[in-house]
Chains A and B, each alone.
Chain A
Amino acid sequence: MIMNVIFLGTLGIYHPLIAAYEYLGQLKTDDISNLKFWGDRVSEARGDPLLVGYDQQGNGVYSLGAGVDVIMTQKSIEQMVKIFDRSEKDLIVQTVFIKRERILLFLHRAGQIKAINRLVTPLVKYLLNQELIAIQQQVENFRNKVRFD
């Protein structure tokens, strides 16, 4: 079955990125900041989905950030799929949430100032390390859902 997957969250360079790597079975939890695209503000600002890799069937796995409007963006993407006469079998959007979304967004915005970014980077890493199990659980639930469908 061909199915591209977009993991969608507030910031595509953090928790949806972790989810995408986890889904691909390539997540190394010893240092999550080594993941490709991690903290890449330029890619985040560009807006298009970040191609994290391909699964064993050759389907693209992507990470995407939509700020505070995650649900609205999910709705638009799902409608785009329908407009092009495609279905969930072609592209599926999976939202990824963490408890400390607001703090993460605040840190990300504060980090736009270079001097502050040095302080923010380890804080973001610490914060997301605390959320790893919850993110992995969301990916596992998604895997089960896809398997079941």
Chain B
Amino acid sequence: MKIIYHCFGGSHSSVTAAALHLGMLNRNRIPTADDLMQIPFYDKTSDSDFGTIRFMGTDKFGHDVYVMGKKSFSNRYSSILMGVAKILESQDKIIMVNCMDRVNWSMKIGGFTSRRLGWAFLGRPIVSWGTARAFAQLVNLVEITRLKALQNKHDPQAT
């Protein structure tokens, strides 16, 4: 199974969710800014990374976990990529997870300031603070996704 977490920039919420999924972050402890900065790709992307599907790792069940930034496309981007998977006869081997509804204003403002304006010194503390505040929401999203992936493994029709 391929699991793609996606958000606006593929830099904060999707990366945090993927890190949680892969056990890089402890789900029982709110991460510090240093913890977040240790995650590969966290607040390290540029405009040229939009649309790039980046591999984050493989979970203990053998699912490959990826992250992606898709700008302001809503669930339509999931439909596009699910449609492509269908053409490749692989629609039962992929889960697209939209992280945007777990993103708070601090993450949006901090992410914009750090990545788009390039003022990491200002944006990074704000986005880290926002990520910590959204952490429980992201844990919840990852748990739902994990269950979905396990369910699909046993019953591919359940997508």
Contact = CB atoms under 8 A, between A and B. Distances in A.
Given A72-B70, A76-B70, A48 B50 contact: no
Nearest to B73: A69
A46 interface: yes
A106 to B, nearest CB: 18
Contacts of B77: 47, 73, 76
Residue among A49, A64, A83 with the highest chain B CB neighbour number at 10 A: A83
A60 B2 CA distance: 24
B68 interface: yes
A47 B88 contact: no
A80 B50 contact: no
A79 B68 CA distance: 11
Given A69-B71, A72-B71, A80 B51 contact: no
Nearest to B74: A47
Interface string B39-76: 00000000000111100000000001010101101011
B153 interface: no
Interface in A26-42: none
A79 B80 CA distance: 13
A78 to B, nearest CB: 10
Given A47-B79, A48-B83, A84-B85, A73 B90 contact: no
B88 to A, nearest CB: 5
A76 B51 contact: yes
Interface string A2-24: 00101000000000000000000
A90 interface: yes
A107 interface: no
A66 interface: yes
Given A80-B81, A83-B66, A69 B51 contact: yes
Interface residues of B, number: 27
Nearest to B82: A48
Contact of A81 (B73, B82, B83, B88): B88
Nearest to B51: A72
Contacts of A49: 80, 83-84, 87
A91 interface: yes
A101 to B, nearest CB: 17
Contacts of A67: 73
A62 B78 CA distance: 17
B85 A80 contact: yes
A60 B88 CA distance: 11
Contacts of A71: 51
Interface in B111-130: none
Interface of B: 2, 50-53, 64, 66, 68, 70-71, 73, 75-88, 90, 93
